Amino acid sequence: MLYDRAMRHRIEPGAKVKLDKIDASDTGDYHDKAAAEKELAEDVARLAELQDRLYAENRRALLVVLQAMDTGGKDGTIKHVMSGVNPTGCEVTSFKAPSEEELDHDFLWRIYRHLPRRGNIGIFNRSQYEDVLIVRVHELVPPDEWKPRFDQINRFEKLIAEMGTTILKFYLHIDKAEQRRRIQARLDDPNKRWKFTQADLAERKRWDDYQEAYEDAIAKTSTEWAPWFVVPANKKWYRNLVVARTIVKTLKQMDPQPPTATIDLGKVHID
């Protein structure tokens, strides 16, 4: 079963992470893209059904965090995995550079404001982890400020988990050669050139620094209540399948139950 095999992509608490030792082109036992996409369609349909139950239950929430290097596929994952869900019960938040107002609060303030409401699935395209990644790589704050944030994030995530939000965190792992191909593809396609900026090349030069920052962040914040999954993402179809199947399995384990009727439905008469 894919979910069971995908569990090898889960980072256990306390485990060390070396991204260059993880094959970004790994597809497990899957070698047939068409077969994988058929299974993805089945998972998308199952996800829609489970989301309806979660929304009707209205007691708990699911938070999905997506992180990746530039071109890693966060938008594409959302587009394909969540294509069947009801937008009423799904909230997508893309975190950009913090605003002046956000900078006047602690770094978790803007995150807390966007947590999914009960009954909903929330998706973070980037997240609180930018505050131990980009601020570290670009030296926006000193180490004695960003280093304590690992424990602060762990405590924050434990609190929201205890309050009823199940958390899944996915790092979409591509290698440097694949990033080059994807950047070039943006330049070659007139319909995708808008996605390219010079900043993409500047950030690419910091590849090793970002890899080190990600390894540190994932290793220090993969917990029982908020696990990280390092998903090989060079093959988009495998990435989508792993993320979808993991979310479906998690919702099945949550087993949301719609509320029972408060009246005797057998006595309802419709004219």
pLDDT in tens, 172-183: 999 999 999 999
Q: Are strands 228-232 and 10-11 parallel, antiparallel or unpaired?
A: antiparallel
Is 171 a domain residue? yes
Question: How far apart, in whole angstroms, are the C-alpha atoms of residue 67 and residue 211?
Answer: 12
The number of folded domains in the chain is: 1
Q: Report which of 77, 162, 76, 64 is spatially closest to residue 116, judged by C-alpha positions.
A: 64
Q: Decide if 265 is inside a domain.
A: no
Which CATH number covers residue 49? Answer: 3.40.50.300
Classify residue 261: in a domain, yes or no.
Answer: no
Residue 212 located in a structural domain: yes
Q: Is 131 helix (H, G, I), strand (E, B) or coil?
A: helix
- Give residue 5's pLDDT: 63
In three-state secondary structure terms, 21 is helix
In a domain, 17, yes or no: yes
Q: Which domain holds residue 174?
A: 2-255
Q: What is the pLDDT of residue 6?
A: 65
Pairwise CA distance, residues 156 & 108, whole Å: 8
The C-alpha atoms of residue 222 and residue 204 are separated, in whole angstroms, by 26
CA distance 149 to 159: 15
pLDDT at 31: 86
Q: What pLDDT does residue 226 have?
A: 98
Helix or strand run (H / E) with residue 173: strand 165-173
If 0-12 CB within 10 Å is exposed, 13-18 middle and 19+ buried, where does residue 231 land? buried
Tell me the two tokens of residue 191.
């319909």
- Tokens representing 106 are 């602690």
Q: Identify whether the C-beta of residue 62 lies closer than 8 Å to the C-beta of residue 121.
A: yes
User: How far apart, in whole angstroms, are the C-alpha atoms of residue 208 and residue 103?
Assistant: 27
pLDDT along the chain (271 residues), means of 10: 71 96 94 92 97 97 98 97 95 95 97 97 98 97 97 98 98 98 93 87 96 98 98 97 96 93 75 78
Q: Do the domain assignments include residue 263? A: no
Answer yes or no: are the C-beta atoms of 27 and 91 closer than 8 Å. no
Q: Which residues pair with 167 in a beta bridge?
A: 63
Output the pLDDT for position 2: 57
Q: Give residue 117's pLDDT.
A: 97
Within a domain: 202: yes
Q: What is the pTM of this model?
A: 0.94
